[in-house]
Copies of this chain bind each other. A is one copy, B any other.
């Protein structure tokens, strides 16, 4: 009950030189980023996909990603992929999880860092008509196959979003700057995939006191137009709510 311990010996003190050679030698892997880019359009939550660029996964949808170059910051690589594909700058982007199974990529060892991105589809609808890009309904994607381990990655990010959107004001990144409460509720219903009570939803958001009435109304609707609001990010940042409450 002790002899089986330490199959491998602990490392000895290392010089920078020794470590350098280790780092520069064989101990390297290819690193990529993959972006799960969510959009919200026609009251549906969508993900931006591209047809696989490998024969092995021909016809399968995959996430947008690319290799990280050795002199490139991780986040920068994810931003680059986004910029390339959507033409958008300054979008919401968060690292979610790193996927590193040995055989996840047919070309060899590629470890990938998954990012979740939320973009406002209205503001750049035209940019993505070219290529093999495609906005796919999240609902249908849950039941379909994808190339590589991208289904895994997608599901992880989707669950991350579902949880996160209830505790942080991420969702507004998917809406125009000015939005109606109906739009906001539709968004939450789409992400969480369930109906919410309209009155309670309104009460909830108004009681948080982060919505600013911009004094405008919806246009081009066939019914009484709703008021438009914007989210007060400044006020939210100041608040820094402490998270409390044990429950599982």
A residues 39-68 touching B (CB-CB < 8 Å): 53-56, 66-68
The answer to whether A139 has its CB under 8 Å from any CB of chain B is no
Report the bound CA distance from A98 to B29 in whole Å. Answer: 15
Q: Is A71 an interface residue (CB 8 A)?
A: yes
Chain A 191-232 interface 0/1 with B at a Cβ cutoff of 8 Å (1 = within)? 000000000010011001000000000000000000000000
> What number of copies of this chain does the assembly contain?
2
Q: Considering only CB atoms and an 8 Å cut-off, how many residues of chain A contact the other chain?
A: 81
Contact B100 A74 (CB under 8 A): yes
Closest to A85 in B: B10
Task: Determine whether the beta carbon of B30 is less than 8 Å from that of A23.
Answer: yes
- How distant is A169 from chain B, measured CB to nearest CB, in Å? 6
Q: Given the complex of chains A and B, what is the CA–CA distance between A43 and B71 in angstroms?
A: 44
Name which of A28, A67, A74, A166 has the most chain B CB atoms within 10 A of its CB: A28
Instruction: Say yes or no: A166 contacts B6, CB within 8 Å.
Output: no
Q: Which 9 A-B pairs have the closest CB atoms?
A: A74-B100, A5-B87, A28-B28, A14-B53, A23-B30, A19-B107, A98-B98, A23-B107, A20-B107
In the complex, 22 of the A-B residue pairs with CB atoms within 8 angstroms, ordered by the A residue number, are A5-B87, A5-B127, A6-B83, A8-B80, A10-B85, A10-B130, A11-B53, A11-B84, A12-B53, A16-B55, A16-B56, A16-B106, A19-B107, A22-B107, A23-B67, A28-B29, A29-B70, A71-B102, A166-B243, A166-B245, A205-B246, A208-B248
Additional A-B contacts beyond A7-B83, A29-B70 (8; CB < 8 A): A10-B84, A16-B54, A22-B67, A23-B107, A24-B108, A165-B246, A166-B243, A204-B247
